[in-house]
Structure 1
Amino acid sequence: MDIDAFAAAHQPSWDRLEELVRRRGSLSGPEVDELVELYQRTATHLSIVRSGTDRLLVGRLSALVARARSAVTGAHTPAWREFARFFTVSFPVVAYRARWWWAGTALAFLAVSLVLGAWVAGDPAVQSAIATPEQIKQLVERDFADYYSEHPATAFAGQVWINNAWVSMTVIASSVLLGLPIPYVLWQNALNVGVTGGLMASRDRLDIFFGLITPHGLLELTAVFLAAAAGMRLGWTAIDPGPRRRAEALAEQGRAVVSVALGLVVVLLVSGLIEAMVTPSPLPTWARIAIGVVAEGAFLAYVAYFGRRALRAGETGDLERAPDLAPTA
């Protein structure tokens, strides 16, 4: 076979294929069909010329076929689109779908904390069993407030972020045990909040307690509640998978829970920054609390808006549904 004559005869189709590959993001339907046809034809040409001695032509066609194959079979979604999809679809829709578990977890936690706080505040015997009067005085007058300002803000923000992320990831990881350890983890946190609040109330320091815990605590606890809700919902899926097969339901819900874990890393970072920079700041108490309320309101509004929109579009938050781009007529 005359390789030069073969190349001259098919050069126009190879040039056309190269042009279509360059413009693959803006092709019309007929052009996509043409791209597929030229790709198949050029792949055949490559198999023919491989038997020849023109290594330069073989290399050129190999590169062209590889690029065309990428265009035909699909290129992965650009990273920025995946990032945007995650924060506008995957994370908020999982949080929104778990809203009743989320709300139930929050109400139960707050109820337990309030009962414990009232019990500790109103019973001196309980206070004595917890600590000595000197230790309680040290806590309410110095230690509680000093905790938020004794370390440099940047280091403290990092420490808080890591600690809160660890608690949330522990809660989510507990879902592999049907979520059974999650109530215990929540109980430990409710116990800490209730006992500390009760001791502060017993010395008429509730203004300091809420003034320091509210700015960051609203968003921080909301993140923990969401992690617990997602984990318990996954555990319940193992018990009641609904109309689908158990393995299929667990796989989908498990991948959706990964969205929560990743999204909460950012939420807890914001909470940690507030705790390190706003909570101990010299701002008036009302201003610090207002910042916390705004951050909490913004997060809930974000979940409600994007989560509801994604749910109406049939999204589940399953990471396997991240789309690939493939040219179609």
Structure 2
Amino acid sequence: MNIQRWIARREPNWKRLDALLKQVEKKGLKSLQATEIKELASLYRSVSADLARSRTHHVGHTLVQDLQILTSRAYNQIYQGSRRQEWQAVIDFYKWGFPATVQQTSGYIAAATALFLLGAAIAWWFTWQDPVFMSLIVPESLIEKVRDKHELWMGSIVGIEPLASSGITINNIKVSFAAIAGGITAGAFTVYILFFNGINIGAVATLVGQNNLAYPFWAFVFPHGALELPAIFFAGAAGLLIARAILFPGKYKRSDALKFYGSQASQLVFGIVPMLIIAGTIEGFYSPSPLVPEPFKYLAGILIFTLLVLYCNRKKKL
């Protein structure tokens, strides 16, 4: 191989790659047009091949070193730049995309919330009318602890906070994903999950209310419930969206409806996972803590819920 002729033929590519890299390093990858980005990737592959050839033919230590630096710069910008873009996309989703999805699916969220509250109201009514109903919903051991010992059960979390927090988070994620997956049953299982969980919370709330333990009970529920319950409602909305695509595709083909409504459902899923993790942490460490006065727990719950409402109603400025 004629080294000088080869260098003369390949050098314009090296200079062009260097020029593109200087622009990217100064102004970022977004400063390039689509054709220039393709050119950058193509030149990177080409110069990488030149580097391999120069090593094989021993064209000189200085040239090999220069090509090595050039390919390293290109690699960093192409691959790490794409990673930065991916992270920026994630940040943008949680900053603007998730609130927008919540606003677009507010009707489904309201329906999921209504199903839950309907279950809670029915449990409250039947429990007050017939004490036997409570024994069908609430474990007997829990009833005895509240009714006979006049105690709540949250103290069992104290001392095992990390284990309790992880277990709570996993359980909440299971419930939420069950509500989402229930969409493929045309929404039947989603409705069941929401309604049954409403019955559970309604029966327990009635039990503590009947035994004058409502204030400490809701002090425990408020901090983490401000995130946990909305997350479950969002999950229920995701399941209802999938059910809508199956049952009422409207102007879409059923496959297209599943893509459209499934996309909204998946965005709700991405949004609720951090909510459940944060809620599980609060429930494991803060909510049951005897060191935190109960009024502070109520205030924390109100503050968290207020911030959630403000966040979900934010709009991207054009």
Please indicate, yes or no, whether the TM-score normalized by the shorter chain is above 0.5. yes
Identical pairs, percent:
24
For 2:108, the equivalent position in structure 1 comes to 101
Counterpart amino acid of residue 117 in structure 1? W
1:23 aligns with 2:31: no
Q: Which moved more, 1:8-17 or 1:24-33?
A: 24-33
For 1:318, the equivalent position in structure 2 comes to none
Q: Contact between 1:176 and 1:235, CA under 8 Å: does it hold in 2? A: yes
CA distance in 2 between partners of 1:110 and 1:35 (Å): 53
TM-score of the two chains, using structure 1 as the length reference? 0.74
Counterpart amino acid of residue 313 in structure 2? A
- Cα pair distance change 1:148/1:229, threshold 3 Å: farther
Deviations along 1:46-100, one digit per CA (max 9) or x if unpaired, are 999x99997567x998997998799899963524313312312343332222111
Question: SS of the residue aligned with 1:237?
Answer: helix
1:171 aligns with 2:179: yes
Residue pairs, 1:299-310, within 5 angstroms? 299-305=308-314, 308-309=315-316
Deviations along 1:79-131, one digit per CA (max 9) or x if unpaired, are 43133123123433322221111122213322331232133124345457778
Offset, 1:43:
8.6
Counterpart amino acid of residue 102 in structure 1? I
CA distance in 2 between partners of 1:47 and 1:131 (Å): 70
Q: Which moved more, 1:141-150 or 1:178-187?
A: 141-150
Question: SS of the residue aligned with 1:189?
Answer: helix
- Cα pair distance change 1:188/1:247, threshold 3 Å: same
Offset, 1:44:
9.2
Residue pairs, 1:1-329, within 5 angstroms? 2-8=2-8, 11-24=11-24, 26=27, 55=57, 76-78=82-84, 79-124=86-131, 126-127=133-134, 136-140=143-147, 142=149, 145-151=152-158, 152-282=160-290, 283-305=292-314, 308-309=315-316
TM-score of the two chains, using structure 2 as the length reference? 0.76
- Cα pair distance change 1:64/1:55, threshold 3 Å: farther
Offset, 1:2:
4.7
Offset, 1:264:
1.5
CA distance in 1 between partners of 2:32 and 2:194 (Å): 59
Question: SS of the residue aligned with 2:152?
Answer: helix
Q: Which has the higher contact order (CA 8 A, sep 6+)?
A: 1
CA distance in 2 between partners of 1:67 and 1:247 (Å): 44
CA distance in 1 between partners of 2:259 and 2:208 (Å): 45
Deviations along 1:176-204, one digit per CA (max 9) or x if unpaired, are 22322111111221121111122222223
CA distance in 2 between partners of 1:38 and 1:115 (Å): 64
Offset, 1:31:
8.8
Deviations along 1:268-287, one digit per CA (max 9) or x if unpaired, are 11111221222222323221
Q: Which moved more, 1:151-160 or 1:113-122?
A: 113-122
Deviations along 1:146-171, one digit per CA (max 9) or x if unpaired, are 33444511211111111101111111
Q: Which moved more, 1:70-79 or 1:169-178?
A: 70-79
CA distance in 1 between partners of 2:302 and 2:293 (Å): 14
Tell me how large the CA RMSD over aligned residues is.
4.3
Name the count of aligned residue pairs.
309
CA distance in 1 between partners of 2:136 and 2:254 (Å): 48
Question: SS of the residue aligned with 1:23?
Answer: helix
